[in-house]
């Protein structure tokens, strides 16, 4: 009996402490390190947090790279599948699009109304931006339903940030690293979301089941009969973890004989997620009445300053306009001068041309005179035979020639 | 069977294949631990670690097993150290079995494996639900244990085939 106990102890001791030739650490050391790591990870020390974030960054990236071949095969399979049902989808999509188009306008109006009403009700006005994030790891474990996205604290992602697939809620961020974050999906067992069931307006809580659907829990007694098949489930905003009015899924009533179960078929297929939207919310506080009064006083003081500021601005504008006008004036003056100069040039040119024309006319008279002189010169020239004639070169002679030899008395 | 005429790079790669398979299985999104089939899941790393540590495979370093556990925790989102502890406990169990066994028997190993994975999964479940307040499905664990146990023999056959290739 004693020897068998000794054997057991020796075997155990050997198992824990004996190192094989290839092993660098004994198993006992590694057990202690594991336990130490578990204990440390349960504490929220800053150093541990950074260390964890560092390890997560490296592991998520590695996991993404290792998963590339598998993702390629998976995507190829889905693409082939998609192509096979392409035409059918096209037809149904077309019909759906027509329906949606007609609904869209009224929806928009409702949304604007909702926004206005919410701003009236809430103490805060919320403005949100949706950030597109890629899923780098979609490790579907039977125990935990979560995904890793490629946005982290660097992109203002915080713990609790709501994550969407199109406009449908997918989950919320539970772990933030520098460039990656872990999103807990609605299907996870640890996920609890306060919801409203429409059109009955029933408040409830939906929990994940670890499968691809959720379940309605914690409804007020007696009103479960009111819940109908295909009722719409959307977030109620209670608890301020999730924004209100985000669609989640539709109710599927399962009658188990004694009782009814309310399954929620999510609008989004969590197994097919490739990209998601992270909602970055910025809160702006709306001031109450006292604060408003204080603000009014300061605003009064500020009014004069503002007026002065406006006047100064106005002055600046006028000055600028004046400057512009001056510049314009200068340029106009230059243009006028140029035009005047041009005018003078034209006048000179005209005068020159007139001179040329006059010269031309004179030349014409001369030619005419010479022509007539040849013809009638002998009749006008004073000679031995013609005592009535005139001396050549005198005006009388010229006029005689021009009158074709007729001597005027 | 593959024969390695010269003990070069391919041979080295071949000898490191189990540890590479372990790291790929913990890093990859395609989780052998969960095949998205209803009531079907099995833990491939458990089988791999159990088999190769039982055979005292020289390239199956405990430190690398520990690191694989840490990676698994990070990828799955469990608290750091849980999987490492599980894997190391398997190593201890196989080491103990090796010490007390004179004539190895596959069937005995098989049932010993069932006992060990049940123990380790129970420990996992307890730690996660008691200390970390995780909400877990017990049925998933039971299904996982069952199929890991069933598939152990199949993988044992494959791994023996691999080892034969190494000895040739």
How close does chain A come to B156, measured CA to CA in Å? Answer: 22
Tokens representing A259 are 């009782």
> What pLDDT does B1 receive?
45
Of B27, B98, B137, nearest to A66 by CB-CB distance is B27
Q: Are the beta carbons of A189 and B75 separated by less than 8 Å?
A: no
| B133 has a pLDDT exceeding 60 | yes
Partner A contacted by B64 (CB < 8 A): no
DSSP summary character for residue A123: S
> What pLDDT does A300 receive?
67
Partner B contacted by A43 (CB < 8 A): no
Closest CA to B126 of B117, B138, B111, B142: B138
| B136 has a pLDDT exceeding 70 | yes
> What pLDDT does B50 receive?
93
> What pLDDT does B120 receive?
93
Give the residue-averaged pLDDT of B74-79: 84
Q: Are the beta carbons of B137 and A138 separated by less than 8 Å?
A: no
| B34 has a pLDDT exceeding 60 | no
Give the residue-averaged pLDDT of B81-97: 90
> What pLDDT does A116 receive?
66
How far, in Å, CA of A73 to CA of A49, rounded? 35
Mean pLDDT of chain B: 84
Task: Let me know how many helices (H) and strands (E) chain B has, helices first.
Answer: 7, 0
> What pLDDT does B115 receive?
94
| A407 has a pLDDT exceeding 80 | no
Residue A288 — pLDDT band, cuts 50, 70, 90? low
Q: Are the beta carbons of B66 and A30 separated by less than 8 Å?
A: yes
| A344 has a pLDDT exceeding 90 | yes
Percent of chain A with pLDDT over 90: 8
> What pLDDT does A98 receive?
77
Q: Half-sphere exposure of residue A166, counting CA atoms within 13 Å on the CB side? A: 9
> 103-142 in B: which are within 8 Å (CB) of A?
127-128, 131-132, 134-137, 140
Strand partners, A390: A381
Residue A105 — pLDDT band, cuts 50, 70, 90? low
Mean pLDDT of chain A: 80
Closest CA to A205 of A214, A191, A197, A216: A216
Indicate the range of A39-43, A64-68, A129-133, A286-290 predicted with least confidence: A286-290
Size of interface A-B (CB pairs under 8 A): 155
Give the residue-averaged pLDDT of B72-82: 85
> 108-167 in A: which are within 8 Å (CB) of B?
137-144, 146
Q: Chain B contacts of A17, Cβ < 8 Å?
A: none
Closest CA to A127 of A208, A233, A243: A243
How far, in Å, CA of B33 to CA of A85, rounded? 31
| A250 has a pLDDT exceeding 60 | yes
Q: Chain B contacts of A34, Cβ < 8 Å?
A: 66, 69, 81, 84-85, 88
Percent of chain A with pLDDT over 70: 85
- Give A148-190 pLDDT, tens digit per residue: 888 888 888 888 888 998 788 889 998 888 888 989 898 888 8
Please tell me which residue of chain B has the smallest CA distance to A189. B135
How far, in Å, CA of A363 to CA of A354, rounded? 14
Q: Which has more pLDDT, A304 or B126?
A: B126
| A327 has a pLDDT exceeding 70 | yes
Of B27, B81, B82, nearest to A63 by CB-CB distance is B27
Residue A289 — pLDDT band, cuts 50, 70, 90? low
Partner B contacted by A190 (CB < 8 A): yes
Please tell me which residue of chain A has the smallest CA distance to B57. A22
Most confident segment among A84-93, A323-332, B10-19: A323-332
Please tell me which residue of chain B has the smallest CA distance to A73. B30
Among A5, A29, A37, the strongest candidate for a mutation testing the B interface, having the largest count of B CBs within 10 A, is: A37
- Give A365-400 pLDDT, tens digit per residue: 889 889 988 888 888 888 877 777 888 888 888 888
Tokens representing B141 are 């664990």
Give the residue-averaged pLDDT of A109-134: 69
Q: Map out the domains of chain A with their CATH numbers.
A: 125-286 (2.40.10.340), 290-409 (no CATH)
| A84 has a pLDDT exceeding 50 | yes
Strand partners, A215: A207, A263
- Give A202-217 pLDDT, tens digit per residue: 888 888 888 788 888 7
Burial of B155 (0-12, 13-18, 19+ CB in 10 A): middle
């Amino acid at each position: 009996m004693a020897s068998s106990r000794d054997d057991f102890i020796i075997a155990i001791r050997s198992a824990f402490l004996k190192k094989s030739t290839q092993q660098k650490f004994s198993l006992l050391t590694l057990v202690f390190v594991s336990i130490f790591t578990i204990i440390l990870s349960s504490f929220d020390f800053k150093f541990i947090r950074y260390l964890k974030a560092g390890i997560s960054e490296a592991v998520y990236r590695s996991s993404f790279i290792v998963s590339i071949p598998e993702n390629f095969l998976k995507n190829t399979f889905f693409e082939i599948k998609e192509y096979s049902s392409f035409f059918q989808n096209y037809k149904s999509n077309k019909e759906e699009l027509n329906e949606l188009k007609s609904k869209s306008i009224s929806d928009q109006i409702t949304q604007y109304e909702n926004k206005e009403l919410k701003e009236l009700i809430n103490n805060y006005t919320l403005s949100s931006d949706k950030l597109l994030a890629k899923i780098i790891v979609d490790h579907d474990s039977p125990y935990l339903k979560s995904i890793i996205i490629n946005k982290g604290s660097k992109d203002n992602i915080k713990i609790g940030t709501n994550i969407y697939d199109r406009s449908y809620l997918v989950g919320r961020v539970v772990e933030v690293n520098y460039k990656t974050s872990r999103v807990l999906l609605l299907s996870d067992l640890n996920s609890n979301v306060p919801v409203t069931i429409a059109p009955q307006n029933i408040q409830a809580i939906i929990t994940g089941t670890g499968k691809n659907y959720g379940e309605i829990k914690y409804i007020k007694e007696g009103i479960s009969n009111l819940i109908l098949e295909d009722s719409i489930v959307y977030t109620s905003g209670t608890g301020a973890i999730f924004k209100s009015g985000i669609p989640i899924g539709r109710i599927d009533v399962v009658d188990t004989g004694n009782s009814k179960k309310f399954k929620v078929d999510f609008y989004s297929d969590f197994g097919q997620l490739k990209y998601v939207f992270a909602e970055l919310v910025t809160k702006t506080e709306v001031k109450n009445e006292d604060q408003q009064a204080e603000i009014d006083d300061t605003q009064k003081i500020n009014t004069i300053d503002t007026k002065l500021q406006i006047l100064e601005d106005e002055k600046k504008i006028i000055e600028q306009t004046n400057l512009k006008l001056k510049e314009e004036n200068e340029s106009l003056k230059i243009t006028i001068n140029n035009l005047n100069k041009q005018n003078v040039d034209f006048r000179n040119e005209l005068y020159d041309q007139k001179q040329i024309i006059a010269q031309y006319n004179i030349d014409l008279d001369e030619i005419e005179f010479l022509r007539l002189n040849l013809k009638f010169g002998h009749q006008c020239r004073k000679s031995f035979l013609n005592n009535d004639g005139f001396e050549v070169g005198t005006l009388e002679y010229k006029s005689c020639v021009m009158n074709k030899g007729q001597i005027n008395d | 069977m593959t024969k390695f005429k010269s003990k070069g790079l391919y041979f080295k790669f071949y000898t490191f294949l189990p540890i590479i398979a372990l790291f790929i299985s913990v890093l990859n999104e395609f989780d052998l631990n969960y095949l998205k089939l209803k009531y079907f899941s099995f833990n491939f790393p458990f089988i791999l670690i159990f088999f190769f540590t039982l055979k005292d495979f020289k390239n199956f370093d405990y430190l690398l097993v520990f690191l694989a556990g840490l990676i698994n925790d990070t990828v799955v989102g469990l608290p750091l150290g849980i999987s490492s502890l599980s894997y190391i406990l398997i190593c201890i169990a196989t080491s103990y079995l090796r010490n007390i066994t004179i004539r190895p028997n596959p069937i005995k190993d098989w049932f010993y494996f069932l006992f060990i994975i049940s123990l380790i999964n129970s420990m996992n479940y307890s730690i996660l639900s008691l200390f970390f307040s995780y909400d877990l499905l017990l049925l998933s664990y039971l299904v996982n244990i069952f199929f890991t146990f069933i598939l152990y023999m199949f993988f044992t056959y494959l791994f023996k085939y691999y080892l034969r290739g190494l000895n040739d």
